[in-house]
């Protein structure tokens, strides 16, 4: 079975579904969430086992291997984004990673996939899609999440080279869809979809981006992100390494608005023209050549299909 830490979370739940579709069973950990998404509920107790777990508790992590035969790990759990001092967040996140890596060694797993983020590319000069081998700035004064993720990538690579199992770093792009947050501080798509379903104008006041029409991002539907993670976790290619996980192209806010209006014709969306004068000036796009080459991955959801799927999910009574 594949262990997914944070397995009842946003990306974790969809990754479980993708692994089930590939014939794998899953152990899903949860910290607080108890709700099982409808697309997993029929498998619970059969191919899915759910465990309450604080991933920062070393012994609790190791004990999972006594209850389940775990053959691989997808580590998505993170410390809660509360008001804890930064030292506490670092200890929780990096301690959890070390617990997972120690468990991988003890259980004899073949591969550990660890969530990273497109945010590690912050400060990299943009000249086209960003490849995994571009040098990353090591400026520790940036947001804590990229700092933690860069550190985790280095720790994972060192363990991969010395402990006998592969570690795959997943640099995940802007992800959206069912179970995701209805409001993002980084891109406007969730706000536009949720407002359209509610019959309201979107609230694009801070901390939301202002939604300039020509600003864009590498936006990837969560079901595609999950399938990419599942393919990387189960791929036959050895050696681990770093993989960009995204759409591989920029989607402009005006394209998002058009797709939302195509699905919800009475949606009220009025985006300011041009690009945000205070924004970064360039859209960050991930080069997914390596992901495609090693797994055969291709995004299955174009923008309108993804918006349709998400709107259907929300209209079915799901609040996220």
Domains in the chain, ordered, with CATH?
2-174+219-245 (3.40.50.720), 179-218+249-278+301-315 (3.90.25)
Tell me the whole-structure pTM to 2 decimals.
0.95
Residue 166 banded pLDDT, cuts 50, 70, 90 = very high
Pick from 56-60, 136-140, 168-172: least confident = 136-140
The whole-number pLDDT of residue 24 equals: 97
| Unique residue bearing structure tokens 């998404």 | 37
The rounded percent of the chain whose pLDDT value lies above 70 is 97
226-282 residue pLDDT tens: 999 999 999 987 678 999 999 999 999 999 999 999 999 999 999 999 999 888 778
The whole-number pLDDT of residue 142 equals: 66
The whole-number pLDDT of residue 34 equals: 75
* Mean pLDDT confidence for 169-189: 95
Q: Alpha-carbon distance 157 to 266, whole Å?
A: 50
Taking 80 as the threshold, does the pLDDT of residue 38 lie above it? yes
* Mean pLDDT confidence for 10-16: 97
Say if CB 30 and CB 16 are below 8 A apart: no
Mean pLDDT of the residues in the chain: 92
The whole-number pLDDT of residue 80 equals: 66
């Amino acid at each position: 079975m594949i262990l997914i830490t944070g397995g009842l979370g946003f990306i974790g739940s969809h990754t479980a579904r993708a692994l089930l579709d590939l014939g794998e069973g899953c152990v899903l950990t949860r910290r607080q969430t108890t709700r099982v998404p409808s697309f997993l509920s029929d498998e619970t107790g059969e191919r899915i086992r759910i465990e309450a777990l604080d991933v920062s508790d070393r012994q609790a992590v190791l004990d999972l291997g006594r209850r389940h035969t775990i053959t691989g790990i997808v580590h998505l759990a993170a410390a809660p984004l509360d008001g804890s001092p930064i030292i506490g967040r670092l200890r929780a996140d990096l301690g959890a990673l070390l617990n997972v890596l120690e468990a991988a060694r003890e259980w004899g797993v073949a591969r550990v996939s660890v969530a990273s983020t497109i945010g590690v590319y912050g400060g990299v000069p943009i000249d086209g899609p960003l490849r995994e081998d571009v040098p990353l700035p090591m400026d520790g004064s940036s947001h804590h999440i990229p700092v933690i993720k860069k550190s985790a990538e280095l720790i994972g690579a060192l363990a991969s080279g010395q402990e006998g199992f592969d570690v795959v770093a997943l640099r995940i792009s802007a992800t959206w869809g069912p179970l995701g947050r209805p409001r993002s501080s980084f891109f406007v798509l969730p706000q536009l979809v949720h407002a359209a379903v509610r019959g309201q104008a979107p609230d694009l006041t801070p901390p939301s981006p202002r939604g300039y029409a020509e600003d864009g991002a590498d936006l990837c539907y969560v079901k595609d992100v999950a399938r990419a993670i599942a393919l990387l976790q189960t791929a036959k290619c050895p050696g681990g390494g770093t993989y960009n996980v995204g759409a591989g192209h920029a989607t402009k806010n005006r394209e998002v608005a058009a797709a939302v209006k195509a699905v919800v014709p009475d949606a009220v969306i009025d985006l300011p023209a041009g690009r945000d004068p205070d924004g970064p000036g360039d859209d960050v796009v991930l080069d997914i050549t390596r992901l495609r080459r090693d797994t055969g991955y291709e995004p299955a959801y174009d923008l309108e299909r993804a918006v349709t799927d998400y709107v259907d999910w929300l209209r079915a009574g799901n609040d996220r």
